[in-house]
Amino acid sequence: MKIAVVGSGYVGLVTGVCLADFGHEVICVDQDASKIDALSKGEVPIFEPGLEALLEANVASGRLSFTTELAKSVAGADVVFIAVGTPSRRGDGHADLSFVYAVAREVAAAVSGFTVIATKSTVPVGTGDEVARIVRAINPGADVAVVSNPEFLREGAAIEDFKRPDRIIVGMDDERARAVMSEVYRPLYLNQAPIVFTDRRTAEITKYAANAFLAMKITFINEVADLCEASGANVQEVARGIGLDNRIGSKFLHPGPGYGGSCFPKDTAALVRIGQDFGSPMRLVETTAAVNDARKRDMSRKVIAACGGAVEGLTVGVLGLTFKPNTDDMREAPSIDIISDLQHAGARIVAFDPQGMKAAGVVMQDVAFADSAYTAATDADAVVLITEWNEFRSLDLARLKTVMKRPVFVDLRNVYPPSEMRRHGFSYTSVGRPD
């Protein structure tokens, strides 16, 4: 199959590289010439485990290439994936669809022969209809099927998620598109990934419903963690106890500083707006977003309490800045608000993150960046673990305690057993567990 992927951001790049690895002939398109230049040389602008090696291998095999020329790559393609960003529109939380529609216009003018246009970007219900309308208006003779094919991959595990998905969702109203999309994902039949064929609107809502449900699940366990903390129970055991019920499931029940990233905050806000537009309010989602926002402030209060009620003039060492491990992504990372609150309360922040410090330097002010966890902890009055990178799971606790001024450890990801921390002489606070 000949495939063009328009938009070489996170989703587009992973999609293009993995589809080439499936054996398809893939061309990735982006209007950013410097990005395309770098990608052509095998340089990947994001940190995603395994992506660079897979990209290099597929470029070398001749199946994967990069270009800024959309029209050329679209003409002759069997499938054109739209994988451009749909950021939150400033002010109202709606998904900004201007990039999607701009690409649709360009693609419409360039297609030749029967072409499937598949939207991978997360888009509100009805977007596929509008893409189809745009194509008809611009090129009435075009033989095109517009498909919704949302992506469910996680940053940090993107390749694994793409190659071993729980399911693939394909929304369409043209039977020819079913055959084409089956062919695109045929290599996955070996992994027995179910393909759910449905209509376009259902596929569009499925994506938002999945993300909103996961965001709600995290927020739920975070509230249960607060209740456990207040009542002397242990949230980790509650999560295990409820997670063993197959109807609930054990995943996404880890309490923490609140969800962040480029998807959950944006998609919950957009779903709330979509509900309002259709006169069908999404009250649970609305509350989820509000509770998650408030949680970051709660976390800085937790740190301040662990420091004895004030952090004025104290040094706080921060371990982990990115919104989750195995990424360099700082978008909506809880660390941003937690650090800014602590600074407002008078703390000096020294932080270390294995991949996120470059991006953090852009969004944070007056933070000193250290070159290791131990340097960040040196002379600190408290250490706060915000992101559970693997290297923070096996710290030399004796060494850590020796370099710190005061052995106060706030673990916002419940990485350590409280008893072990006590044994090492730390004053230890975690989330939803008895100290």
Minimum Å gap between C-beta 62 and ligand UGA is: 29
Q: What are the percentages of helix, strand and coil residues in the chain, rounded to 5?
A: 45, 15, 40
- Choose, by CB under 6 A, the member of 218, 299, 307, 410 that binds ligand UGA: 218
- DSSP assignments along 216-280, one per residue: HHHHHHHHHHHHHHHHT--HHHHHHHHHTSTTT-STT----S---SSSHHHHHHHHHHHHHHTT-
- Choose, by CB under 6 A, the member of 208, 259, 352, 416 that binds ligand UGA: 259
Of 14-22, 224-232, 260-268, 391-399, which segment contacts ligand UGA by CB under 6 A? 260-268
Q: Cα–Cα distance between 240 and 235 in angstroms, integer?
A: 8
Q: Cα–Cα distance between 139 and 130 in angstroms, integer?
A: 14
Of 57-65, 127-135, 253-261, 280-288, which segment contacts ligand UGA by CB under 6 A? 253-261
Site map (CB under 6 A) of ligand UGA, residues 72-101, x = contact: ------------------------------
Tell me whether residue 99 or residue 152 sits nearer to ligand UGA (CB atom): 152
263 counts as binding ligand UGA under rule CB under 6 A: yes
The token duo for 320 is 């982990």
Of 36-44, 127-135, 141-149, 261-269, which segment contacts ligand UGA by CB under 6 A? 261-269
Q: Cα–Cα distance between 393 and 416 in angstroms, integer?
A: 7
- Choose, by CB under 6 A, the member of 2, 254, 273, 406 that binds ligand UGA: 254
Cβ pair 382, 317 in contact under 8 A: yes
Minimum Å gap between C-beta 298 and ligand UGA is: 14
Q: Cα–Cα distance between 322 and 328 in angstroms, integer?
A: 6
Q: What are the φ/ψ torsions at residue 271 (nearest 5 degrees)?
A: -65, -35
Please report, as residue ranges, which positions from 134 to 193 form the binding site for ligand UGA (by CB under 6 A): 151-155
142 to 70, 102, 153: CA distances (angstroms)? 17, 17, 31
Minimum Å gap between C-beta 256 and ligand UGA is: 4
Give SS3 for 284.
helix
- Choose, by CB under 6 A, the member of 253, 291, 349, 404 that binds ligand UGA: 253
> In angstroms, what is the C-alpha Rg of the chain?
23
Tell me whether residue 38 or residue 209 sits nearer to ligand UGA (CB atom): 209
Residue 359, amino acid: A
- Choose, by CB under 6 A, the member of 93, 128, 261, 407 that binds ligand UGA: 261
Residue 427, amino acid: S
Which residues are bridge partners to 170 per DSSP? Answer: 197
356 counts as binding ligand UGA under rule CB under 6 A: no
433 counts as binding ligand UGA under rule CB under 6 A: no
Token look-up 């201007």 returns 98
Q: What are the φ/ψ torsions at residue 260 (nearest 5 degrees)?
A: -140, -155
Of 49-57, 112-120, 257-265, 351-359, which segment contacts ligand UGA by CB under 6 A? 257-265
Minimum Å gap between C-beta 235 and ligand UGA is: 11
Please report, as residue ranges, which positions from 196 to 215 form the binding site for ligand UGA (by CB under 6 A): 211, 214
Site map (CB under 6 A) of ligand UGA, residues 313-332, x = contact: ----------xx--------
264 counts as binding ligand UGA under rule CB under 6 A: yes
Q: Cα–Cα distance between 369 and 367 in angstroms, integer?
A: 6
Minimum Å gap between C-beta 221 and ligand UGA is: 7
Site map (CB under 6 A) of ligand UGA, residues 382-401, x = contact: --------------------
289: how many CB neighbours lie within 10 A of its CB?
Answer: 23
Tell me whether residue 108 or residue 221 sits nearer to ligand UGA (CB atom): 221
235 counts as binding ligand UGA under rule CB under 6 A: no
Q: What are the φ/ψ torsions at residue 7 (nearest 5 degrees)?
A: 105, 110
Tell me whether residue 65 or residue 219 sits nearer to ligand UGA (CB atom): 219
Strand ranges of the sheet holding 315-319, from the earlier edge strand across to the other edge: 367-369, 348-352, 315-319, 382-385, 408-411, 427-429
What is the set of active-site residues?
A: 263
- Binding region for ligand UGA (CB under 6 A): 122, 151-155, 211, 214, 218, 252-254, 256, 259-261, 263-264, 323-324
